[in-house]
Amino acid sequence: MRRFTTRILHFFSPNKQLVLQLEHLLGYTPGHLPYYQLALMHRSKIEELAYNNERLEFLGDAILGSIVAEYLFKKYPYQSEGYMTELRSKIVRRETLNNVAMRMGLQKLVQYNQNDRGLSRSHIFGNALEALIGAVYLDKGFAKTRSFILKQIIKPYIDIDTLESTDTNYKNRLLSWAQKNSKTVSFDTLDEKIEGSRKIFTIAIVIDGQQLTTGAGYNKKEAGQVAAQKAIEQLHIS
């Protein structure tokens, strides 16, 4: 009855279209809509922490990691801790989540500064997906969040078998290529700056003294992986 009443109230609200889109995305009718609106608000629109999705992203990241860990623990009863840790990192890494978010159509709902063309090519949609998970948790609790992650994210969008056989450590692949081809590679920090409330690092890939690519991320490891992936693509390393 409560769910029916909530749906009726949303039907007559000015946010009717958003509610319908969220229903399709989530698989249920959202209860407290402001949680979801906040999850979809990128800091490029509003920098104040209370009105953008960074805090929800932090919450969703932690919840996603724990649920994926439980999922892998049950799916692989005879695998080692190291194996499951590596596979979890492949599932929750920024590139994977961003790809999932775009396949879900989340980029159509996220509010961000569309004049900044670099943002649409960054990982903001994957970050928004984590924030959305945080919103689900605050609105519906842990059990519903677990169901959402397993049924609406992992089952339709995560190919575990492919991830198992995919080497996503771009830095190691680049270093291995460099060793085989007698190249010198360095990962140089070009910049550290604050955007909103978070520090952004920019790392350059330098090969034989020449800068090839750059990558940005919330820590040096992430930025280095982004830069290494670009280098691998440019050098056509298989």
Q: Both 155 and 204 in a single domain?
A: no
Q: Both 152 and 187 in a single domain?
A: no
Residue 184: give the domain boundaries.
Answer: 170-235
> Could you say which of 140, 165, 190 is where a domain stops?
165
CATH number at residue 6: 1.10.1520.10
pLDDT per position as a tens digit, 49-62: 778 999 999 999 99
Q: Both 226 and 150 in a single domain?
A: no
The values of phi and psi at residue 161, to 5°, are -60, -40
Q: Both 151 and 191 in a single domain?
A: no
- Return left, alpha or beta for 209; rule: phi > 0 is left, psi -120 to 50 is alpha, else beta: left
Q: Both 79 and 150 in a single domain?
A: yes
Q: Both 42 and 151 in a single domain?
A: yes
Helix (H) or strand (E) holding 200: strand 198-207
Q: Both 145 and 86 in a single domain?
A: yes
CATH number at residue 190: 3.30.160.20
Residue that is written with structure tokens 């280095």 in the block? 224
The Cα 34–Cα 170 span in angstroms is: 38
Class of residue 209 by CB neighbours under 10 A (exposed 0-12, middle 13-18, buried 19+) = exposed
Residue 129 confidence class, pLDDT cut points 50, 70, 90: very high
Q: Both 13 and 117 in a single domain?
A: yes
> Are the beta carbons of 41 and 113 closer than 8 angstroms?
no
Could you tell me which residue, 141 or 6, shows the higher pLDDT?
141
Those residues with Cβ within 8 angstroms of residue 85's Cβ, 6 or more apart along the chain or in another chain: none
User: With 70 as the cut, is the pLDDT of residue 216 above it?
Assistant: yes
Q: pTM score, two decimals?
A: 0.72
Q: Both 53 and 115 in a single domain?
A: yes
> Could you say which of 149, 165, 181 is where a domain stops?
165
CA neighbor of 97 nearest in space, from 62, 137, 124 = 124
The count of domains in the chain is: 2
The Cα 106–Cα 110 span in angstroms is: 6
pLDDT per position as a tens digit, 171-194: 888 888 888 889 899 999 988 887
> Could you say which of 165, 182, 203 is where a domain stops?
165
Q: Both 159 and 186 in a single domain?
A: no
Q: Both 62 and 6 in a single domain?
A: yes
Q: Both 36 and 124 in a single domain?
A: yes
> Are the beta carbons of 90 and 170 closer than 8 angstroms?
no
What is the set of active-site residues?
A: 61, 130
